[in-house]
């Protein structure tokens, strides 16, 4: 992959710039340049942004690989798969299409990890079976698969995600631990301590006020995040806990913020990376 990092070699505490730290679509090359300048090892990429780059901008596989190489970056994570639980109907068709994009991205760009989210609209047993099948298909493309629990879904807590992961029993099936959904959700440290740290395949960091800015949880988490160290979350404590669990995953900065999206990409990338490095230093993890 030229000068780019091997995404499957990323480890703690390498930094990844999550896709949703910038607007959902557009300015791909600006995103890469900003991430590289701020010292990130890789970025995340939304499945449908890849599709847009391929189909609307006509970016070839070779062109995208060259863009990553120019900036010494890799594609670390694929965001985010819904509908993985479905076996028929539109949800299954949409998920099959999204999975085809993800697996193409893994083959073309060498990604390490795919994030999946709920809710699932089926029985628990079907969700387990479908998650296991997804993990098996992803393994053929070298991908880890992490469930991100979201308090507004029926995979609301770390314990909910753990039930699925344990029942599926796949070595590449695990978790995405996002400090926002921990702090604003169950905020239960014992749930986190019950997880196998080797199965935490993604750690997503951000910050924010302890009280919601608006009542709609989903809208709030997609618009009012802050760089680590700029809010009221216990970022240092969260990092120390991840270390105590033996987590070896890279750290993804997911600072979804309408205020930051309005600023130049380079400025927001530096704020996120600098804030995270200060948190790591304070936690003794730098």
pLDDT digits (tens, 9 = 90+) for 23-68: 999 999 999 999 999 999 999 999 999 999 999 999 999 999 999 9
SS3 11: coil
Cα 131 versus chain centre, distance: 17
Which domain covers residue 89, as residue numbers? 7-282
172 C-beta neighbours (distance < 10 Å), count: 18
**Would residue 119 count as lying in a domain?**
yes
- What's the number of domains the chain is made of? 1
Q: Tell me, yes or no, whether 2 lies in a domain.
A: no
Distance CA 202, CA 37 (A): 22
Predicted confidence at residue 3, as pLDDT, reads 63
Segments in 153-214 forming alpha helices (H): 158-168, 179-183, 189-193
In a domain, 35, yes or no: yes
C-alpha to C-alpha distance for 226 and 59, rounded to whole angstroms = 32
Give CA–CA dist 201/174, Å, rounded.
Answer: 6
In terms of Cα–Cα distance, which of 231, 226, 235 is closest to 256? Answer: 226
Q: Say if 265 falls within a structural domain.
A: yes
Report helix, strand or coil for 226: strand
Which pLDDT does position 202 carry in this prediction?
98
Cis previous bond, 13, omega within 30:
yes
d(CA 204, CA 18) in angstroms, rounded, equals: 8
Query: Does residue 143 belong to any structural domain of this protein?
Result: yes
242, β-bridge pairs: none
Is residue 210, in this structure, part of any structural domain at all?
Answer: yes
Report yes or no on 246 lying in a domain.
Answer: yes
Residue with tokens 């901008």: 57
Q: Is there a domain that residue 1 lies in?
A: no
CATH code, domain with 80: 3.20.20.150
Residues of the chain with pLDDT under 50: 1-2
d(CA 148, CA 178): 7
The DSSP line for 253-268 is E---BHHHHTS-HHHH
């Amino acid at each position: 992959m030229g000068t780019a990092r091997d995404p499957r070699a990323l480890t703690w505490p390498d930094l990844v710039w999550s896709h949703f730290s910038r607007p959902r679509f557009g300015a791909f090359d600006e995103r890469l340049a900003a991430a590289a300048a701020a010292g990130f090892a890789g970025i995340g990429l939304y499945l449908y942004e890849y599709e847009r780059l391929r189909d609307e901008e006509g970016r070839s596989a070779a062109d995208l690989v060259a863009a990553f190489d120019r900036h010494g970056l890799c594609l670390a994570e694929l965001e985010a798969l819904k509908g993985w639980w479905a076996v028929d109907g539109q949800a299954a068709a949409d998920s099959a299409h999204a999975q085809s994009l993800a697996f193409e991205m893994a083959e073309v760009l060498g990604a390490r990890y795919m994030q999946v989210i709920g809710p699932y609209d089926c029985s628990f047993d079907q969700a387990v079976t479908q998650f296991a099948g997804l993990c098996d298909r992803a393994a053929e493309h070298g991908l880890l698969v992490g469930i991100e629990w979201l308090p507004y879904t029926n995979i609301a807590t770390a314990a909910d995600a753990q039930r699925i992961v344990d029942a599926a029993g796949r070595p590449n099936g695990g978790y995405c631990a996002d400090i926002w959904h921990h702090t604003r959700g169950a905020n239960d440290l014992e749930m986190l301590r019950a997880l196998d740290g080797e199965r935490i395949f993604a750690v997503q960091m951000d910050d924010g006020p302890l009280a919601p800015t608006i009542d709609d949880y989903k809208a709030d988490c997609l618009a009012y995040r802050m760089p680590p160290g700029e809010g009221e979350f216990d970022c240092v404590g969260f990092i120390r806990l991840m270390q105590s669990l033996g987590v070896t995953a890279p750290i993804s900065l997911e600072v979804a913020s309408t205020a930051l999206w309005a600023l130049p990409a380079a400025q927001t990338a530096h704020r996120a990376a600098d804030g995270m490095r200060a948190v790591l230093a304070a936690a003794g993890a730098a």
